[in-house]
Amino acid sequence: MSKPNIASTLRRRAEAVTQVESVDAPKSAEDQAYEVLFGGKLPPTQRKRTANLPIAQLCPFRTANIGFKPYSEENLRALADDIAANGLLEAIKVRPFGDRYEILSGHNRVAACKLLGWTEIQADIEPVDDDRAIVIATVTNLQRRQGLLPSERGWAYRALLDAQKRQGKRNDLINHTCGQNDHMLKTRDTVATFFGVDVNQLRRMIRLTYLIGSLLEAVDDRRLNLMCGVAISYYDEETQNLFLERLETDHWQLPVAAMQRIKKACPPPHVAAGDLGKACNRIEAERLERSKPRKISFNRKKFEPYLSKISSDRELEALFLEFLKSKYS
């Protein structure tokens, strides 16, 4: 994975903040995203304010599992060095959370400031509800952060869809309609269109979040093919652990075609250990058989007048290859 350019990322964010705070664009990017994704105007909220908050009063985002991993030690140090040289170019975003403040945007900046020994950090305090908090926490990362892992995209998309589904249920109750199923069908299309991804790709990323941790990690670091991970996600936890044991034994060698045949032979959600083992062994044996070199046979009587003039099988092979090259090259 390529290293993020910390300085340019922060400057892009600062420019974006300047643009959305101008007269021509009074709404933040996250607020605009909320209106598009949830199909309506923003609910009324208290006015946000900016203040320097004690870092000890901050807590990580807990409202939903949004999946974004912290920077590596190397990238975090690069971010800290940039902040030390240029200052904090963009305030973090938080919301009141009991007697503390939940970080909506800026987890890595907070960690970098801790490295620098800061005890306070500038924060935009936004008293928003859970759904708007999820939008703020996911949209910025999905749109601006480079090199996101499949699991990060999957958890973020899932959090947004879950929020949309809750919104749909509330609207159905208010309007006394039965449109929940229609709403759920539209949610994936809305999210996919907004982020410029294919709806099938979005569905696959979300399916990955149903994998057990070890398998999801294997997809992230490319030991396990993404499509194989999607297929395994339809099995229950017990069966996924059986797949994990098998994959570790086979050094993570699982072609997509083989996984498709396993799924056909052993449909989800549950497979007994013995049945899965037999299916995997049979499919692997068939694959090895197909991979063996094909032998070519001839009717010896037809070639008898010429074979007496050829001294060895090697000479015959060379002549045959020469003929094929002259014919088809």
Structural contact between residues 63 and 102, judged by C-beta atoms closer than 8 angstroms: yes
Question: Residues for the chain: how many in total?
Answer: 329
pLDDT of residue 33: 85
The predicted-structure confidence for 145-197, as pLDDT tens digits, reads as follows 889 999 999 999 999 999 888 876 554 433 444 445 555 557 788 889 989 99
69-83, 186-200, 299-313: least confident range: 299-313
The encoded tokens of residue 180 equal 């929940």
Q: What is the mean pLDDT of residues 224-242?
A: 98
What's the start-to-end Cα distance of the chain, in Å? 41
Tokens representing 58 are: 């901050």
Helix (H) or strand (E) holding 83: helix 73-86
More confident residue, 24 or 225: 225
Encode pLDDT of 92-136 as tens digits.
999 999 999 999 999 999 999 999 999 999 999 999 999 999 999
- Percentage of residues of the chain with pLDDT beyond 90: 59
pLDDT at 311: 80
| Residue 318 pLDDT level (bands cut at 50, 70, 90) | confident
CA distance 94 to 128: 9
pLDDT in tens, 134-157: 999 999 889 888 899 999 999 999
- 295 pLDDT band (50/70/90 cuts)? confident
- pLDDT of 54 > 50? The answer is yes
- The predicted pLDDT at position 21 comes to 43
pLDDT band for position 18 (cuts 50, 70, 90):
very low
Q: HSE (CB half, 13 Å, CA atoms) of 238?
A: 8
CB 134 within 8 A of CB 143: no
Residue pointed to by tokens 């010896």:
300
What domains can you pick out in the chain, each with its CATH number? 6-151 (3.90.1530.10)
Q: Please say whether the beta carbons of 265 and 279 come within 8 A.
A: yes
Q: What does the block give as tokens for 96?
A: 């009141």
State the pTM of this model. 0.77
C-alpha dihedral (124, 130, 136, 141), degrees to nearest 10: 130
Residue 19: which pLDDT band, with cuts at 50, 70 and 90?
Answer: very low
| Residue in this structure with the two tokens 């607020």, named with its chain if needed | 31
Cα dist from 51 to 23, 110, 118, 219, whole Å:
23, 15, 15, 41
Phi, psi of 24 (to 5 degrees): -75, -25
Q: Coil, strand, or helix at residue 178?
A: coil
